[in-house]
Structure 1
């Protein structure tokens, strides 16, 4: 990515018009879906079976790399078909039956997931970090007929009541194991090239039940269709095309890089980003996906250098770690990186500049979405992200957005309100949860629960979660605004802002701040630094410090309820005033 004084060569509206025109890659048409007329993309596959079968054309290209294991597209396709036949013939999995997957980012995860999709079953990707009790609850809630699980998950499930048939993965082998039913990774290329049963799928057939990350309560299963997944597949490349036109280039580019792209994915495959915005695009586009057992900064840097990684798919906290570790101006051996993309939680406004500084010539990219929208709703990248570093971008072409007040009425541009979303990538409801569905869906509009504002060009700025707003004495305090201000204070590594009960104000603002081991930062330092940046009522009145990372779920979102509970437990009940803050230094 290079700076050009002539940028932008066209407006956002002009770029979208060109990319969605008749014959263009994102050409759209009106289509009746679920009794509503929505815009859908004209081009692209209709179901995941087609994507899986088309991937075979990449043959002996490497698809998945996990430690020393390397899986080609052909070997992967054969393993998918073999496991699909096993599910259908040996376990009686019919179209619409649920198949759960609970394991680390092993190559078998991909095979199990795509095998379920290929035969018309409904994939249930389970959060591998959950307790055995919660895993069993999600398996039973989904009605899964089969669960493929690794040794760690099987150990957690031991003693739990679970009706699904179990297939062990990397748990010592034996009868009924994945290794016995399909074979170890090294043998996949020699499997018989026999297709799994073809159940004649349609775009609106269900393909997955993805459980929400549940930072504010029990997880719920969002029902996803083939159309939703494939709409997101198209959306994942839109931001790159728009950036090219905005720069004055053509799309597809004349100087498209030769060969496949190598993608590093340390995020869990069970998360919507890992599955919908990394694994499926890599399968469809012939890219090589580097899987990690868990995030390790030194290991990640070694992988980038050894495998000449081009694209990093991360959450903001991991990008921050890279920025803190690497020197400005670039590092020898990391020149292959041309895109660093992140999402899933709020990102500091200076993160994009940090990416440019550490990976010269690379493009920063940020995505915004939810489990209920099959990943992307909006995206921002390249020059647009540098121009508006606080924005998550504009909505993808097929997606309608509204910013509304508490009465559901549209607010003027620039005014804060809740973001509502409608489009072919929006889910139809939570599995078996009619009341929960009714709370978030209204005439096809998904109420995101995010407070945003939209500027005149359609760029969205996420201010906070609606339910996370601190209402201090009748004044709304948007936590994201306070977090952004604290994040700019030297010595602050990470932070989270939330409300805690107060007998006088109803709620007061609290902050949990992550610092280095030798930090001398105090609560007074934080307040003094914020005094010129924020109104007095927004400045935290209770501050805790920690050298440990903030608690986060699998999506990378801070679990604020845990922080809130810790602060409440550590603070004796009192009446507060802005001049009497409480500071606690914790070493968790």
Structure 2
């Protein structure tokens, strides 16, 4: 185990004035914040970095390989098409499709013309997608055929143009533009120069907090550029503190290839994989649909060196490899957990089975543009229950319920401040003011800092369920359930699940004289919301749900009763 003094000394060397990771500071919104001196200031710079990789392989999807040159040509062509449609700086370009090269092209084409790319949750059903589009009022929606069908071919936003990727069989002409047609219309475009202020909005990402409706998180170009450079810092710190693992990687002389199975509409997919690969010339393998067995096959055929995914995905991958006596995972350089807490049993298994790999984890949010803290390699093996040392970009306070700052070792709410924080929620000033207090973001997570500055997350304050890495707002499912004519009230909460980390469970009280089967309620939710939000189990009752004198559901007691009833039935 590396001692704290050694870790601190290495970090200080990395942050020295002559280092690529040298720090400066700037005043932003009245607060003095640390910044990396050499970080990209805008996403336009990231696009230019991608151009420098030329004909190197970039994205492999199904049977087609896109080089960086293919990708940047596609970006320029779609950017020219967007300009021809009258898209202007600040307009929103919504993206709703599975992970595929056109997703990346649409994102950077929006950036290229000064518009705001706004990726939607591709798991969403028609109602969810329409709600997000009405909220954004985009000038253009870039989607695939599956999302178009969920929308019944209509965005519901007056004047919003449609661009559709993939299968276009039966696509109504005049109502939508085929992606390939948009690209071929401008094969060698001459684009005007675009200048953007580093502190102007760069993108909108949706987050599912404790509210019934996802909010759009607006982040600046500077915030995203600093977050991307912070990923480089984490890699450098992990490498310098894990010399044996680095020596093993160098000896293999293989190109970096990442299997991308996490959605690009999350920072774990967008920042840590897509945008980082664009900057450093790394190859990505996009999966059409997650399957542990298919993932193993792709790892072997494509020479994959890195895999990052939700704990449930890592678990499925390890189990599938054991069942098939497949040693492909042993050849990986690294594996990362993200999206939710890692069960101790899975953590211990991965660390023991892969003693030479760079195993890692981090803590961050959409509102922070990723990692507040992160750790990999020997630092992680020394503190496997931590989320790593704090990023140099962040100030962190652990607050007691009365707002007082707590010393090292004491548990409280984790509050963070730094240059990568969001500018706010799209068109929601009250929600923004409630989340950002004097520049500090209250994360809703409970944790503590140890004496050496490592962050440990132990629980949540927010009423949020994390299922296979996806944040789920119980209020959204409760609202959906109570829309059923037989349901008077509903309480939704998370319960432990070995496969997904947490499962969605619900207690439902019916209206007098009504009856409905559990399967009908599940089908009702599935019709309106994404599949991962459907409760795995629903208990139906006729008496009112327990509330406090103020009328608030007593979720803790209801959850305990649910778990007790479940245990008695087993």
The TM-score normalised by the length of structure 1 is 0.78
The answer to whether the aligner puts 1:178 opposite 2:179 as a matched pair is yes
Q: Deviations over 1:393-423 (max 9, x none)?
A: 1221111111101222201211111111111
Q: 1:334 to 1:246 in 2, by over 3 A?
A: closer
RMSD: 3.8
- CA shift, 1:192, in A, is 4.1
The residue that corresponds to 1:80 in the other structure is: 75
The answer to whether the aligner puts 1:566 opposite 2:570 as a matched pair is no
The residue that corresponds to 2:10 in the other structure is: 15
User: Counterparts of 1:323 and 1:97 in 2: how far apart (Å)?
Assistant: 44
Matched residue of 1:457: which SS?
Answer: coil
User: Counterparts of 1:35 and 1:583 in 2: how far apart (Å)?
Assistant: 52
User: Counterparts of 2:48 and 2:103 in 1: how far apart (Å)?
Assistant: 18
Q: Which has the higher contact order (CA 8 A, sep 6+)?
A: 2
The residue that corresponds to 1:264 in the other structure is: 259
User: Counterparts of 1:386 and 1:510 in 2: how far apart (Å)?
Assistant: 29
The residue that corresponds to 1:40 in the other structure is: 35
The residue that corresponds to 1:197 in the other structure is: 192
The TM-score normalised by the length of structure 2 is 0.80
User: Counterparts of 1:283 and 1:51 in 2: how far apart (Å)?
Assistant: 7
**Structure 1 contact 308–334 (Cα < 8 Å) conserved:** no
**Structure 2 contact 445–460 (Cα < 8 Å) conserved:** yes
Q: 1:196 to 1:136 in 2, by over 3 A?
A: farther
- CA shift, 1:354, in A, is 2.4
1:340-351 aligned within 5 A: 340-351=335-346
**Structure 1 contact 268–274 (Cα < 8 Å) conserved:** yes
Q: 1:42 to 1:514 in 2, by over 3 A?
A: closer
User: Counterparts of 2:494 and 2:118 in 1: how far apart (Å)?
Assistant: 37
Matched residue of 1:210: which SS?
Answer: strand
5+ unaligned residues in a row in structure 2: which ranges?
A: 475-490, 501-521, 547-556
The residue that corresponds to 1:582 in the other structure is: 565
1:57-456 aligned within 5 A: 57-89=52-84, 91-158=85-152, 161-163=156-158, 164-172=160-168, 176-183=177-184, 192-194=187-189, 196-214=191-209, 216-247=211-242, 255=250, 258=253, 260-327=255-322, 331-456=326-451
Matched residue of 1:386: which SS?
Answer: helix
- CA shift, 1:227, in A, is 1.1
5+ unaligned residues in a row in structure 1: which ranges?
A: 185-190, 470-478, 484-495, 499-506, 517-547
**Structure 2 contact 41–226 (Cα < 8 Å) conserved:** no
Q: 1:247 to 1:141 in 2, by over 3 A?
A: same
Q: 1:285 to 1:135 in 2, by over 3 A?
A: same
- CA shift, 1:584, in A, is 5.8
User: Counterparts of 1:340 and 1:71 in 2: how far apart (Å)?
Assistant: 25
User: Counterparts of 1:345 and 1:122 in 2: how far apart (Å)?
Assistant: 28
Q: Deviations over 1:461-498 (max 9, x none)?
A: 111111349xxxxxxxxx99xx9xxxxxxxxxxxx9x9
Q: Deviations over 1:194-236 (max 9, x none)?
A: 4533211221121111111346521000001111111111122
Matched residue of 1:395: which SS?
Answer: coil
Q: Deviations over 1:175-203 (max 9, x none)?
A: 6221211149xxxxxx8454533211221
User: Counterparts of 1:320 and 1:207 in 2: how far apart (Å)?
Assistant: 35
Q: Deviations over 1:416-460 (max 9, x none)?
A: 111111111101210111111111101111110101111111111
- CA shift, 1:67, in A, is 0.9
**Structure 2 contact 400–406 (Cα < 8 Å) conserved:** yes
Matched residue of 1:237: which SS?
Answer: helix
- CA shift, 1:41, in A, is 0.5
User: Counterparts of 1:510 and 1:341 in 2: how far apart (Å)?
Assistant: 24
**Structure 2 contact 198–222 (Cα < 8 Å) conserved:** yes
Name the count of aligned residue pairs: 508
The residue that corresponds to 2:477 in the other structure is: none
Choose 55-64 or 350-359, whichever is displaced more: 350-359
User: Counterparts of 2:498 and 2:369 in 1: how far apart (Å)?
Assistant: 32
**Structure 1 contact 243–383 (Cα < 8 Å) conserved:** yes
User: Counterparts of 2:11 and 2:405 in 1: how far apart (Å)?
Assistant: 23
